[in-house]
Amino acid sequence: MFETPPRRPLLAVALLMACAPCLAHHSAALWDSTKTVMLHGTVKQFQWTNPHCFIQLLVPVEAASAGDQREQEWSIEMASPFQVLSGGWKPGTLKPGDKIEVTVHPARDGTPAADFISAVSADGRALGKKSPQ
Amino acid sequence: MIRRTASLLVLLLVAAWTPAAQPPVERQRVFARLPDWTGIWMVDDGLWNKTGLRNGFDPQPGVTFLLLKDLPLSAAGQKRAQAAREAQKAKPTKECGFYFPFVMESPWPFEVLSTPEQTVFIFGGREIRHVYTDGRGHLPTDEIWPTPWGDSTGHWEGDTLVIETIAVDPQLLPLNADAHFAERIRKIGRDRLEDVLTIVDPVNLTRPFTVTLPYKRVTTVDRLIHGDCMQNDRNTVVNGQESVAPPTP
């Protein structure tokens, strides 16, 4: 009834793994999980929205000359509001003007977008809870 | 007299149509015997980031779905997996939610509501599984078609819910739509549930595949607040590549 086991089952599973994440909202291929970047900036907006929360962070760009105060706006994607709430965050955890430090995986395409890993406030306090379960 | 006979006939027909309809007292007894699975549950497979903060769709490196880890694919199953991978490469796809069986290993918390007639699994992504336990069978073959969550019937063996699911649209899974899924779900501790799931697909698997999915009680929230993909979907596909759109001004 069942076929003889294939010679290369590991290859098959590897192929399947590539497909699995896309069964959700979008695949993990969007992010470069081999790179971890720390962003220091000022919160412009905290989007407490489905399907993802976003931190809009204004990050100073390296000054080309003295007095140059340019900023780049990053879109930092988190999980859904319910998942983020489960992790100890609240809609009011971040407010415009807050200075924070966020650790992220950047987007593969080089745009200022990233996948959230963790964040601390200006005074070094971890935002959210470490282990909500 | 004719009206009375007709009424009686209608009553008899309704009684015959209602699957396992029970008198109220007996129904209350059945209700009282159902196990208490109240609360909020979440899979505890090591796959999803435990902080709940990160994008739930970015599994931790080196860890994969228990559902896929040791899936014994046949040559035909490998071919299907390869085709699915190529299709994904050619056209990035976005979904809103998890299909069965992946919904049972999704990052969504869920609740379980049991009545004498059915047990319903409600997930945070608004996915719902109805498991009919009142004796009704699967839909007849000419009235059933593959859907993302299939057609589930079940019964109780003590405190274990035994489920049979058919007609699952495999989507990107390398399975046929006539694959069978058998589950045995039970509480194994005050704060633990488990689902022993067996997949049978003689074409794409070399043998029936059984996996145990563990669940733990979620204690940080006391209700489900559902997610959706409509409010602020910024994940656009541009030139065949997934991207993040700027915020709407």
- The pair of three-digit structure tokens given for residue B97, joined into one six-digit string: 């939610």
Contacts of B216 in chain A (CB under 8 A): 133
Q: Cβ separation of A29 and B92 shorter than 8 Å? A: yes
Q: Which of B174, B202, B216 sits opposite A16 (nearest CB)?
A: B174
Percent of chain A scoring above 90 in pLDDT:
46
Q: Which of B55, B78, B220 sits opposite A12 (nearest CB)?
A: B78
pLDDT given for residue B92 in this prediction: 66
Helix (H) or strand (E) holding B29: helix B24-33
Burial pattern B125-144, b for ≥16 Cβ within 10 A else e, equals bebebebbbbeeebeeeeee
At residue A44, does pLDDT exceed 90? yes
Rounded CA-CA distance A89/A103 in Å is 16
Whether residue A35 lies inside any domain: the answer is yes
Rounded CA-CA distance B101/A43 in Å is 39
Contacts of B174 in chain A (CB under 8 A): 12, 16
Rounded CA-CA distance B41/B140 in Å is 33
State which residue of chain A sits closest to B47, comparing Cα positions.
A21
Burial of A86 (0-12, 13-18, 19+ CB in 10 A): buried
Burial of B214 (0-12, 13-18, 19+ CB in 10 A): middle
Rounded CA-CA distance B108/B126 in Å is 9
* Cα separations in angstroms, B91 against A95, B88, B107, B181, B230: 38, 5, 24, 29, 21
Rounded to 10 deg, the angle between the A9-19 and B75-90 helix axes is 30
Domain count, chain A: 1
* DSSP string of B172-215, one letter each residue: TSS--TT-EEEEEEEEEETTEEEEEEEEE-TTTBSS-EEEEEEE
> pLDDT in tens for each of the 249 residues of chain B?
556 665 555 555 544 555 557 789 999 999 999 999 999 999 988 766 544 454 444 445 556 788 888 899 999 999 998 888 787 777 666 667 789 999 999 888 899 999 999 999 999 888 999 999 999 999 999 999 999 999 999 999 999 999 999 999 987 789 999 999 999 999 999 999 999 999 999 999 999 999 999 999 988 888 999 988 888 999 888 777 788 999 987
Instruction: Read off the pLDDT of each residue in A66-75 and give the average, rounded to a whole number.
Output: 85
Rounded CA-CA distance B65/B69 in Å is 6
pLDDT given for residue A12 in this prediction: 34
CATH number at residue A104: 2.40.50.140
pLDDT given for residue B12 in this prediction: 54
Domains contained in chain B, CATH given: 33-219 (2.40.128.20)
B55 versus A90: which is more confidently predicted?
A90
Whether residue A3 lies inside any domain: the answer is no
Q: Cβ separation of A52 and B232 shorter than 8 Å? A: yes
Rounded CA-CA distance B8/A61 in Å is 82
Helix (H) or strand (E) holding B153: strand B151-157
Q: Identify whether the C-beta of residue B86 lies closer than 8 Å to the C-beta of residue B47.
A: no
Whether residue A50 lies inside any domain: the answer is yes
Q: Reduced to 3 states, what is the DSSP secondary structure of residue B245?
A: coil
* B window 84-103, beta carbon within 8 A of A: 84-85, 88, 92-99, 102
Instruction: Please give, rounded to a whole number of angstroms, the shortest distance from the CA of A38 to a CA of chain B.
Output: 15
Number of helices (H) and strands (E), helices first, in chain A? 2, 5
Whether residue A14 lies inside any domain: the answer is no
Domain that holds residue A130: 28-62+70-133
Whether residue A22 lies inside any domain: the answer is no
Flag whether residue B197 sits within 8 Å of chain A, measured between CB atoms: no
Q: pTM for the complete prediction?
A: 0.80
Q: Cβ separation of A23 and B95 shorter than 8 Å? A: yes
At residue A65, does pLDDT exceed 90? no
The position carrying tokens 């070399």 is B206
At residue A130, does pLDDT exceed 60? no
Q: Reduced to 3 states, what is the DSSP secondary structure of residue A103?
A: strand
Whether residue A76 lies inside any domain: the answer is yes
Chain-centroid distance of CA A38 in Å reads 11
pLDDT band at A133 (very low <50, low <70, confident <90, very high): very low
Q: Identify whether the C-beta of residue A38 lies closer than 8 Å to the C-beta of residue B241.
A: no
Interface TM-score (ipTM) > 0.95: no
Whether residue A108 lies inside any domain: the answer is yes
Q: Which one of B58, B98, B204, B220 would you mutate to disrupt binding with A, by most A Cβ within 10 Å of its Cβ?
A: B58
Whether residue A2 lies inside any domain: the answer is no
Rounded CA-CA distance A100/A127 in Å is 9
pLDDT given for residue B127 in this prediction: 92
